[in-house]
A and B are shown apart, each in its own frame.
Chain A
């Protein structure tokens, strides 16, 4: 049986790190080499940890269940009537059925049950905040405080079939209809796959040079290592009928009008392209950046030891992006990492599980404080001044009481904004903003900043488009 060395939060940050460092230091001294960086090195520095630590820290947070573990976990499902977990799942996966299929030795059938509702079931198994969705609704959570491990069982089934390279869907007869899908993130991919399955031809375009959207660029590296996002897209495209065009940006390379003219329907799954500003004095100094950029860069960097990270990192925000940035700062060797959130901890949109994870890797979470000034020296950040806040009926109020956190790197994770296509506006796009155009995912009204919701909306838009063709 596989030994789960990296189970739980067993990162190379605490107990074992000294054992790894000592021989490293010794050999450097003996050879007269410059001593490497450590978590204590001031300013931005790469390679703060022993080389082995990076591969370890950025490997699977939770490895896939082995067959025995999956069997034991599946046995716990009660096969509820009209199960609450199905209701809680934005894509309405028939969870009791797929778990029973695992329990009876047919994970292949289980995977099909999952993908019938959620073609990105593999990624969702990794990144869904299951503790707030299906697993929170699980009756065994009510019964014993220990839900069935739905997310991990989903990964067991989907990994097993994807690992064999099997794609269990085929296309209906070609309808002659052509659909433009803009944005190859979770919403666009789900939409494209469902449309292709119905027999329509799809042109799937994305402004970046890799498909996947936030699955590729926006998720903490340890949640989907081993290039899973790309593997999943490749697997999804096996259905055929999807022409993937990368480096194509709406508004720059194509216009919505031209797409509407050229295609029978258009789906926009363009996400949120902008980020909010801090609105704190001095935020333009070096060392202050958007957390989403940091996360994207980190994901694309194959050698994590090459990524510079601060010694004292401050992350501002309270969502998943904030947690992902903070945790990964620690995993890169930052000595002190603090998340500062302007409201109470119960209002953080990052799940409790994510918050616990952050705290267990040594991230400090400070609530009810907002940045008022970024202090720089020689053009680079050195500290951030925060004011305590009070959350009342008339909104958030900054108090006179302040404190200062030392910082050589600051990540802003205070939300993203829609960059609307020409002729459209609003904080979010309507589900069907104009004739022949559908939307889904984070850019759309109802988008929840969740992969699984984006998948549901992309899939449902495809069904609506298909219906509009008289399908």
Chain B
């Protein structure tokens, strides 16, 4: 069986599944239960400076987006960092770590943006025997208004500065958690690297309003008739997170910087995808909040089975495997020609492919009187929309035309690899001529 143990910036854990800094990791009770359930590591919910703890709202702090059958697809929250006293958290962290030496225990931190505050908090956590720290530069609500969280994470210079302080005043491995509420994720990652970060973790939550109450005309979650943007997470944000992880993994400036992948990881498959795009491990929150800690069992068995089937013996065999295949649009092969193909035996004749193609795409699917749907190769541009709207998996597939075959749409045979950089319609090609 595949070995799932991971060594992430020197921090060992029995599997790559960590719980992210969030409500599930706010106290000893939960973290012990999580470790009992099998989680490889935990990032303890963000600690703040000594003194009176932050307070949370006393009305709803979560909003949601659902799919069919009320499956939770996206969750947003307006909860702040831990609202429990610092010394209670530190005592509990120490107690848990003593009993679970084989698990990773990271402390998430967020204190005001001055060197003294960071030096003080690092001193306070020294004797907990925690394995590392994660700098919370991502929290998009509440704390940002106080000059912390994403207010720091959106300014690369601040990230670099704070990271440098942390590395200066502590020997602990340091992970910098990035906010996605920024236009180019590579900039803060580069700043973290310059500041000496051992790794980055991403993404934190995305600014969001999940819905508007059409009776009270207030955003959800609603507090006394008002609402504010909260941090969005869950399966819905996974594609955004995957892209940002990939951007950092393939950028010349940040290549090789360890990444802890976060954002909608719900199953072993999601985790494997993050890892293939360069994440050394993953952090999970919404899936645990939706289904409980037990889901880690499926993640462990699923990743094991997949790795066995692929002949991978260690997680390092998987990490980064897809990175070389992430490229820019201009390098995509314009001579890769496919056509949609409908498996008539699998087709249940719902006609959604037809409606989608006829109404919104290229009018490339025909419909007979007896509801047989067929692709017209001379119209099909291979957009994939029919595949995406078909309710039956693998009923419609994209079939590649072998080299030399004439594309019925263009009348041209499929040729060797050619991309936009050399395409005659590209103005810059003409300019060079």
Instruction: Show the binding face of A for B, using Cβ within 8 Å.
Output: 71-72, 75-76, 78-84, 139-140, 142-143
Say yes or no: is B429 at the interface (Cβ < 8 Å to chain A): no
Query: A81 contacts which of B70, B348, B355, B392 (Cβ < 8 Å)?
Result: B355
State which residues 336-368 of B face A: CB under 8 Å.
348-352, 354-355, 367
* Chain A residues near B57 (CB-CB < 8 A): none
Say yes or no: is B169 at the interface (Cβ < 8 Å to chain A): no
A80 vs B371: C-alpha distance when bound (angstroms)? 11
Q: Besides A71-B70, A75-B69, A78-B352, 9 other CB < 8 A contacts?
A: A75-B70, A78-B350, A78-B391, A80-B351, A81-B350, A81-B354, A140-B348, A142-B349, A143-B348
A304 vs B208: C-alpha distance when bound (angstroms)? 61
Shortest CB–CB separation between residue A89 and chain B, in angstroms? 16
Per CB-CB distance, the 8 closest pairs between chain A and chain B, nearest first, are: A81-B351, A81-B355, A75-B68, A139-B348, A80-B350, A139-B350, A142-B348, A143-B348
* Chain A residues near B350 (CB-CB < 8 A): 78, 80-81, 83, 139
**Given A71-B70, A72-B69, does the pair A84, B391 have CB atoms closer than 8 Å?**
no
List the A residue with the shortest CB-CB distance to B356.
A81
Q: Once the chains bind, are B371 and A84 in contact (CB under 8 Å)?
A: yes
A84 vs B371: C-alpha distance when bound (angstroms)? 9
A78 vs B350: C-alpha distance when bound (angstroms)? 7
Shortest CB–CB separation between residue B75 and chain A, in angstroms? 19
Shortest CB–CB separation between residue A136 and chain B, in angstroms? 13
State which residues 385-422 of B face A: CB under 8 Å.
391-392
* Chain A residues near B348 (CB-CB < 8 A): 139-140, 142-143
A140 vs B391: C-alpha distance when bound (angstroms)? 10
* Chain A residues near B391 (CB-CB < 8 A): 78, 143
Shortest CB–CB separation between residue A56 and chain B, in angstroms? 32
* Chain A residues near B70 (CB-CB < 8 A): 71-72, 75
* Chain A residues near B354 (CB-CB < 8 A): 81
Query: A79 contacts which of B352, B367, B371 (Cβ < 8 Å)?
Result: B352
- Bitwise, B2-15 to A at CB < 8 A (1) or not (0) is 00000000000000
Shortest CB–CB separation between residue B331 and chain A, in angstroms? 37
A83 vs B352: C-alpha distance when bound (angstroms)? 10
A72 vs B371: C-alpha distance when bound (angstroms)? 27
List the B residue with the shortest CB-CB distance to A81.
B351
A376 vs B348: C-alpha distance when bound (angstroms)? 56
A72 vs B68: C-alpha distance when bound (angstroms)? 8
Q: Once the chains bind, are B69 and A82 in contact (CB under 8 Å)?
A: no
Q: Once the chains bind, are A82 and B68 in contact (CB under 8 Å)?
A: no
* Chain B residues near A83 (CB-CB < 8 A): 350-351
* Chain A residues near B68 (CB-CB < 8 A): 75-76
Q: How large is the interface on B (under 10, 10 to 19, 20 to 34, 35 or more residues)?
A: 10 to 19
A81 vs B354: C-alpha distance when bound (angstroms)? 7
* Chain B residues near A142 (CB-CB < 8 A): 348-349
A139 vs B355: C-alpha distance when bound (angstroms)? 15
> Could you jot down 8 A-B contacts, CB within 8 Å?
A72-B69, A75-B68, A81-B355, A82-B371, A142-B348, A143-B348, A143-B391, A143-B392
Shortest CB–CB separation between residue A165 and chain B, in angstroms? 24
Q: Which of A75, A80, A81 has the most CB of B within 10 A?
A: A81
Shortest CB–CB separation between residue B326 and chain A, in angstroms? 34
List the A residue with the shortest CB-CB distance to B349.
A139
Shortest CB–CB separation between residue A95 and chain B, in angstroms? 13
* Chain B residues near A84 (CB-CB < 8 A): 349, 371
A71 vs B71: C-alpha distance when bound (angstroms)? 12
A369 vs B291: C-alpha distance when bound (angstroms)? 58
**Given A143-B391, A143-B392, does the pair A80, B69 have CB atoms closer than 8 Å?**
no
A268 vs B348: C-alpha distance when bound (angstroms)? 41
**Given A143-B391, A143-B392, does the pair A81, B352 have CB atoms closer than 8 Å?**
yes
A75 vs B71: C-alpha distance when bound (angstroms)? 11
* Chain B residues near A71 (CB-CB < 8 A): 70
Shortest CB–CB separation between residue A69 and chain B, in angstroms? 12
- Bitwise, B58-70 to A at CB < 8 A (1) or not (0) is 0000000000111
A82 vs B68: C-alpha distance when bound (angstroms)? 22
Shortest CB–CB separation between residue A75 and chain B, in angstroms? 4
List the A residue with the shortest CB-CB distance to B373.
A81
List the A residue with the shortest CB-CB distance to B359.
A81
List the A residue with the shortest CB-CB distance to B355.
A81
- Bitwise, B311-354 to A at CB < 8 A (1) or not (0) is 00000000000000000000000000000000000001111101
* Chain B residues near A139 (CB-CB < 8 A): 348-350
List the A residue with the shortest CB-CB distance to B68.
A75
A84 vs B69: C-alpha distance when bound (angstroms)? 23
A75 vs B350: C-alpha distance when bound (angstroms)? 15
* Chain B residues near A76 (CB-CB < 8 A): 68
A143 vs B70: C-alpha distance when bound (angstroms)? 22
Shortest CB–CB separation between residue B348 and chain A, in angstroms? 4
A78 vs B69: C-alpha distance when bound (angstroms)? 13
A71 vs B66: C-alpha distance when bound (angstroms)? 12
A76 vs B70: C-alpha distance when bound (angstroms)? 12
Q: Which of B350, B351, B352, B354 has the most CB of A within 10 A?
A: B350
A79 vs B392: C-alpha distance when bound (angstroms)? 14
A72 vs B392: C-alpha distance when bound (angstroms)? 19
- Bitwise, B211-233 to A at CB < 8 A (1) or not (0) is 00000000000000000000000
Q: Once the chains bind, are B351 and A82 in contact (CB under 8 Å)?
A: yes
Q: Which of B69, B348, B391, B392 has the most CB of A within 10 A?
A: B348
A139 vs B69: C-alpha distance when bound (angstroms)? 18
- Bitwise, B150-166 to A at CB < 8 A (1) or not (0) is 00000000000000000
A75 vs B367: C-alpha distance when bound (angstroms)? 26
* Chain A residues near B392 (CB-CB < 8 A): 143
Shortest CB–CB separation between residue B353 and chain A, in angstroms? 8
A78 vs B395: C-alpha distance when bound (angstroms)? 15
List the A residue with the shortest CB-CB distance to B66.
A75
List the A residue with the shortest CB-CB distance to B351.
A81
A258 vs B55: C-alpha distance when bound (angstroms)? 85
Shortest CB–CB separation between residue B69 and chain A, in angstroms? 5
* Chain A residues near B367 (CB-CB < 8 A): 81-82
* Chain B residues near A80 (CB-CB < 8 A): 349-352
Shortest CB–CB separation between residue A118 and chain B, in angstroms? 23
List the A residue with the shortest CB-CB distance to B71.
A75
Q: Which of A72, A82, A140 has the most CB of B within 10 A?
A: A82
A337 vs B309: C-alpha distance when bound (angstroms)? 60
List the B residue with the shortest CB-CB distance to A103.
B68
A163 vs B351: C-alpha distance when bound (angstroms)? 36
A83 vs B354: C-alpha distance when bound (angstroms)? 12
A71 vs B354: C-alpha distance when bound (angstroms)? 27
* Chain B residues near A82 (CB-CB < 8 A): 351, 367, 371
A136 vs B367: C-alpha distance when bound (angstroms)? 21
Shortest CB–CB separation between residue A444 and chain B, in angstroms? 27
A142 vs B68: C-alpha distance when bound (angstroms)? 20
A78 vs B390: C-alpha distance when bound (angstroms)? 10
Shortest CB–CB separation between residue B382 and chain A, in angstroms? 21
